[in-house]
Structure formats: structure tokens, C-alpha cells
Amino acid sequence: MIRRTPLLVAATGLALAFAATGCSSSASSTATVDSGVSQKADAALKEITGKVLSKGPNGEAPSPVSAADLTADEVAKVKALGATAAIVMHYGGNDWATAQVNGLKAEFEKLGIKVVATTDANFKPDKQVSDLETVLTQKPNIIVSIPTDPVATASAYKKASEAGAKLVFMDNVPQGLTAGKDYVSAVSADNYGNGVVSAHEMAKALGGKGKIGIVFHQADFFVTKQRYQGFKETIEKDYPDIKIVEEKGIAGPDFAGDAQAAANAMLSKYADLSGIWAVWDVPAEGVMAAARASGRQDLKIATEDLGKNVAISLAKNELVVGLGAQVPFDQGAAEARLAAGSLIGKQAPAYVALSALPVDHANVLDAWKQVYHEDAPKELKDSYKN
């Protein structure tokens, strides 16, 4: 499991203390903040920290990331193979995808595995099928990928498996493929848990009361469905005075633009709308744009994924109130190790998951380092308001 560093824990503890006493900037901007709600949400966040709430695509229980570990002898065996790998992405337009690829490439380099191709399908299944066909001409030993659509791409992945490539999936698994037979493993963040985290963050910012909207991903995409379910079910179960009054789906590929249009419609329809949840950081950027255009700087936005623009908003204590972050660099490294192990006959669990990381204003700088394995960029540091 991913554990918080002492500095991160301390920063989060400071955030909790501020929230409980109503002293944070975000809390002071909401007149209806109820310290009882903040305490309840903080207790819930503490309870789930380090835990995985999600099941795998086929209902699998999660295995810890340590299941991907390799011994020194195993690493030596892998290096001796001179293996190659290809990374076939669904979409490369955000910080999550960049970190995932960086984690994969860094770990493959340590293992002596050469990356021969990195592709971006821009969320188009037909483009991803074409990418897979092109990649296969290079005969990689490993393919690490995230399917754009579990049905439309299934036959292409089946073909890759039959050609001898070891497949490791990020988050989503093609329909009809079997772990241990057609692919090695699927590695994911705790997406249901990330949805739960963002629900508690939203509830704290609203003081447990208000009308909110939801911008969800309108696609057959396992992990974004998990996020939506985690958020919605937590709000409905734990915070009955927060009412979800509107839900709008977006299909992309212009996720920011589509989310902005959806948020504009919600804000026009509900003058008293208090908050909007967006399914990941790029749609959240669209919601932020809609809020600014509508003069709604008081709108509370919760989301998933610690992208740079939502991180800056958190640092400034403006609009974005909290989120559940994945750790994509670590996820990519785990995928590389699982794939490498399969080359020497090592068995892998069907589903490996990494726990959600709660992020708010107080811990955003430390969280950035944990998520991306590098210091927060200057723009983010300069944006931070004490």
C-alpha cells in the first residue's frame, strides 16, 4: 500500500485541525460550515487512509502493490533477456497519463527493458486498435495499455496476446480476456475510494448542506464508473442534507469544453447551486471556467487526480476544495515489474490496487511530490496561500 510520508501526515493533520475548528480559508468562505460535519468527514478520511475499497473489473479482491516486487535475482534474470515493451495509452492529454508513462519508462530502464513505442489514441477505440496493430509489427515482449473501450478493442488485445506479448492493463480490462491466460494483471488506483474521498471533501466544504451537480464520464469505462459510484453513494448515505439536483455526462474528447458546457447549464438552472463534482481534473478545469464566467467564485468543486491546474486552484484556496488523488507514477512502476516478472514465469495476481490519497489545500505541495516523485513546480509553489 502507499503510505503517507511523515511530512504529508503532518500537513494533513494540520488541514484536519483547521477544518474542525473552522479556521481554514475554504471553511471560512462557507457560512454554513458545521464543525460536526467536518469532524465526521475527517474521521471517515482517516479510517480509509491506506485502504483499498475497490474490487477489480471482474470482482477480484485487490492485492497490494508489494505483489509486484522482484528480488535481485529476478531482476538479473529479466535484464539478461534484453526484452522490449510498448506503452499503448487511451489518452495522453493530462498529468496522470504523463506520470503513468514516466513511471513505466523509469522502471523499465531499471529492468533493462527497452521501450520501443508509446502511443496515444485520444480516447478513440479505432485509433487504439490501429495503434496496437502497428505496435505488434515491432514484436514487443510486453504491452502495457489501458483500453479506450473494453468491447471495441477486445479482439485487438486478444490478437496481441496470441502473438506472444505479455499484456498488463491499467485500470480497465478488455471484455472476454482472462487474467493468467490472456493477460498478466490489471493495476489500478482505488477509484471507488477516490470517489469516496472527494465526497467527504465536498461535504466538509459545504458544511453538510446544499445543492450540487455531478459531471460524470458517459462511457463504458470501469474506473470512471467506480469514481462516480463512490462519490454519489457516499453523499447519499452519509450526507442527506446535500442534494444531488443534476447529473450530466460528457463523452469527450474535449472533456474540459464539454464539462464547461455542462456546468454552465447547471449554474443557469440552479442559482443556488453550491457545488459540482467532476470525474477527473480535466473536466474539473471546465467546471472552474464555467464558475469564473458566471461570477461564482464561491462554487465548491471536488474531483479526482492531482493535475497541475486543479493543484494550483487548491493552493490558492479557490474553487477546488479537495480531491482524491491517484499515484500514477507508482502505478506505472508496478505495471512494469509485473510485466517483467511474467517474462521469467512469475505468477501475478489478477488485480493490484493502490490506495487513494486525500488532497486538500494544506497538503497539496507534499501530495504533488508523492504523486509525481518530484518537487512541486514553481508555479504551484508560488500559488500557495498560507
Measured in degrees and rounded to the nearest 5, phi and psi for residue 17 equal -65, -45
* SS3 (DSSP) at 40: helix
Our CA dihedral for 167, 169, 174, 179, rounded to 10 degrees, sits at 60
pLDDT value, residue 326: 95
Residue type, 47: E
Examine the pLDDT at 377 and tell me if it is beyond 80.
Answer: yes
Residues 6 or more apart in contact with residue 90 via CB below 8 angstroms:
121, 123, 128, 145, 146, 147, 148, 172
In this structure, the number of other CB atoms found within 10 A of the CB of residue 225 comes to 17
- Summary count for the chain: helices (H), strands (E): 15, 12
Model confidence band, residue 37 (pLDDT cutoffs 50, 70, 90) = very high
The stretch 260-288 carries a mean pLDDT of: 97
Residue type, 70: L
Phi and psi based region of residue 50 (left: phi greater than 0; alpha: psi -120 to 50; beta: remaining) = left
Percent of the chain with pLDDT over 90: 85
Examine the pLDDT at 18 and tell me if it is beyond 80.
Answer: no
Query: What stretch of H or E contains 213?
Result: strand 210-217
Our CA dihedral for 18, 20, 23, 28, rounded to 10 degrees, sits at 120
The stretch 260-283 carries a mean pLDDT of: 97
Measuring CA to CA, which residue among 255, 332, 317 is closest to residue 94? 255
Examine the pLDDT at 9 and tell me if it is beyond 60.
Answer: no
Model confidence band, residue 316 (pLDDT cutoffs 50, 70, 90) = very high
The whole model's pTM is what?
0.84
- Measured distance CA(187)–CA(313) in Å, rounded: 29
pLDDT value, residue 80: 98
The stretch 26-48 carries a mean pLDDT of: 73
Per-residue pLDDT tens digits for 111-123: 999 999 999 999 8
pLDDT value, residue 33: 52
Examine the pLDDT at 4 and tell me if it is beyond 90.
Answer: no
- Integer-rounded Cα Rg, in Å, for the chain is 21
End-to-end CA distance of the chain: 31
Domain 6-53+191-325+357-383 class in CATH:
alpha beta
77: its cell numbers:
534474470
What single-letter DSSP state applies at residue 64?
Answer: P
pLDDT value, residue 203: 97
The stretch 178-185 carries a mean pLDDT of: 97
The stretch 266-277 carries a mean pLDDT of: 98
Rounded (5°) CA angle 168-170-176? 65
Residues 6 or more apart in contact with residue 31 via CB below 8 angstroms:
none
Examine the pLDDT at 29 and tell me if it is beyond 60.
Answer: no
Can you tell me which residue has the cell 495503434? 131
Residue type, 184: V
Q: Are 85 and 339 spatial neighbours (Cβ–Cβ below 8 Å)?
A: yes
Domain 65-190+329-354 class in CATH:
alpha beta
Largest Cα–Cα separation, the chain: 64
**Domain boundaries for CATH 3.40.50.2300 within the chain:** 6-53+191-325+357-383, 65-190+329-354
Per-residue pLDDT tens digits for 114-161: 999 999 999 899 999 999 999 999 999 999 999 999 999 999 999 999
pLDDT value, residue 92: 86
pLDDT value, residue 93: 74
Examine the pLDDT at 308 and tell me if it is beyond 80.
Answer: yes
Model confidence band, residue 1 (pLDDT cutoffs 50, 70, 90) = very low
pLDDT value, residue 380: 96
